[in-house]
Amino acid sequence: MVRGAGIGRCDSLHSYAGLQNTGKYPMPFKSEAQRGWMYANEPAMAKRWEAHTPKGKKLPKKVNGEKESAFAHLPPLMQKVAALGAMAAQLRVIKQAKDMPSFTEQDRPEKTKDIYRALKREHPEMSAEMKARIAARQGKSGKQKQGPPYKGPLSTEK
């Protein structure tokens, strides 16, 4: 494959994947900055997008980086209901985490708890989750379990 040809360009990638902008999902420009970039880098795609941008529409210079809500496709009332449901789920997870005993109070081997305490003392900047993972892994008795050896080729040269 020749570098810079074919799939490297956006319009080629869309054509390759069978995702050409056929008009079923029109893509108008959202800002002047986007229009300028598109004409400079992807002129063929820019012409297609220009056809979907209403004539005489005043576009902002830039669009701030806020992403649309996951519920943006819903009617306004349903957006509120969906957002409340998502918040309720988050609150349930937080409540479960608060009710959970601390790592050293859980039913774990004493060696694992000692490793966790040492990590907490020696590395206060490390997250509790990372300390718990390390302590649980190092606290296991016996040889550490390893995956199967790699059997693939060591080089790509033939």
- Domain ranges, ordered by start, for the chain: 7-52, 76-138
pLDDT at residue number 4: 44
Average pLDDT of the chain is 74
Residue 33 in contact with residue 61, Cβ under 8 Å? yes
Percent of the chain with pLDDT over 70: 69
State mean pLDDT over 118-125: 90
Q: Who has greater pLDDT, 63 or 39?
A: 39
State mean pLDDT over 54-77: 73
45 has pLDDT over 80 = yes
Handedness of CA 10, 14, 15, 20 (dihedral sign): negative
CA distance 6 to 8: 6
Name the band, by pLDDT with cuts 50, 70 and 90, for residue 121.
very high
51 has pLDDT over 50 = yes
125 has pLDDT over 70 = yes
Using CA atoms, how far residue 98 sits from 92, 93, 108, 114, in Å, is 10, 9, 19, 23
pLDDT at residue number 13: 43
Structure tokens at 1: 């494959």
Angle between helices 32-41 and 43-52 (to 10 degrees): 140
Q: Who has greater pLDDT, 141 or 23?
A: 141
